[in-house]
Amino acid sequence: MADSPDLLLLSRWLTPVPGFLVPLVGAGARIGYVPTASSIYPDQTWLDLDRATLEAQGFEVLDVDPELVSTATFTRALGEIDAIFVAGGNVFHLLGALRQTGADRPLVHAVRHGLPYIGASAGAAVTGPDIAPLHLLDDPSEAAPLESTAGLGLIDVTIIPHAEGTVGGRERIDRTLAQYPDHPLQLLRDDEALVFSGGRRRIIPG
């Protein structure tokens, strides 16, 4: 088991990915791309941009969507890739889909046992202890059925992406802070990234 999971959590831009991933798994790594958070939206342009960016960075990108394959197939895929990338969209739908399909458990197990995790926006927010504070940024009513807002628990803070207000305006960020003063929130701007590695946490340019 890894001493601690390796996670790169992004608000928007993928610039930090090579600097994070290449030292861990080498150049040309196979990245499993999870588009699930956006499956409820007809426009998925940003997913195409993600994939193109990762490929331009020299990585091989393979879609791994738990909504389209069995839990066994998803679990097997986790053993055949060098890193996992969980894309943005609606964090409530993402968590609901992971729970409904049973993909949450093998995903957490793989990351805790050394599979590097890269999450963007919703993919970053789902890693924390509770996604409830995200309800002003994402609409829970659009989501797959969700009995609990408890997140994947890979980290001890809830990421609030787009903290400068690029999605929905700064007023929603301020309301989130006011409504959840007792939650461990980590604001993350689009030009920032949060790295968890070696038991340490640090913010780097995004």
Q: What is the pLDDT of residue 2?
A: 53
Distance CA 205, CA 97 (A): 31
Distance CA 57, CA 45 (A): 19
Distance CA 50, CA 133 (A): 26
pLDDT band at 20 (very low <50, low <70, confident <90, very high): very high
Select which of 11, 38, 93, 121 is catalytic: 121
Instruction: Provide mean pLDDT across the span 115-134.
Output: 97
Distance CA 103, CA 84 (A): 13
Q: What are phi and psi of 121, to 5 degrees?
A: 55, -110
- Work out the angle at residue 158's Cα, subtended by the Cα atoms of residues 95 and 164, and round it to the nearest 5 degrees: 110
Select which of 11, 38, 93, 162 is catalytic: 162
183 noted as active-site residue: no
Count other Cβ atoms within 10 Å, centred on residue 79. 9
What's the predicted TM-score (pTM) here? 0.96
Q: Which CATH number fits domain 7-205: 3.40.50.300, 3.40.50.880, 3.40.50.2000, 3.40.50.720?
A: 3.40.50.880
93 noted as active-site residue: no
Q: What is the pLDDT of residue 70?
A: 95
